[in-house]
Amino acid sequence: MATDPFALFETWFAQAQESEPNDPDAMALATSTPDGRPSVRIVLMRLRGPEGFGFFTNLESRKGEEIAANRAAALCIHWKSLRKQVRAEGVLQPVTEADADAYFTSRSRDSRIGAWASDQSRPLDQRETFLGRIKQATARFGEGDVPRPPHWSGFRLVPERIEFWEDREFRLHHRRLFTRTDEGWSEGLLFP
């Protein structure tokens, strides 16, 4: 078999872009604390390719702190409309400053302001406090550029394993597992 998993991913992702009603790039990202307590949340896949699957975040958030303590992670992308999913396991690597800057500047102005105003994942006494911080950040930057905050960047999950799962009738699913080797990728099948 020995197919390139990223070529297969691009084929499936193109199908998902046509069929998913919302966010075909949404993925569940699982991280864990240093003592192994798991944590999972949905993030948006903003980078993809042979270097891995990338997303951006506040480095001071719970997610950012977990990643700083333990780079092992897993992700799952489920496309209900296609009855397919992709799972990957590997290590999270920081994106380049250029990648972080490029993605940050592509975001809406309100999203960039929000990155400055939010202490992501930390307790908030009331919604008005956050709205006040948005007003302060908006006034601070006026009509000018909103630069990327120093606490905002991204990561790529560099996969060691990638599994492609396809739903089949009577739960006789089709599962393909790609495992990274020194020479590239090996491929095999898994029982459903």
Q: Is 95 helix (H, G, I), strand (E, B) or coil?
A: coil
The residues with which 162 forms a beta bridge, in sequence order, are: 88, 178
| Cα 51 from Cα 54, distance rounded (Å) | 9
φ and ψ of 10, to 5 deg: -60, -40
Residues 6+ apart with CB under 8 A from 158: 51, 52, 90, 91, 92, 93
Q: What amino acid positions are annotated as catalytic residues?
A: 171
By the 8 A CB rule, do 32 and 90 touch? no
φ and ψ of 118, to 5 deg: -95, 135
Amino acid sitting at position 29: L
Token couple for 113: 């302001």
The residues with which 55 forms a beta bridge, in sequence order, are: 155
Token couple for 77: 């992308």
Instruction: Tokens 């990638």: give the residue.
Output: 162
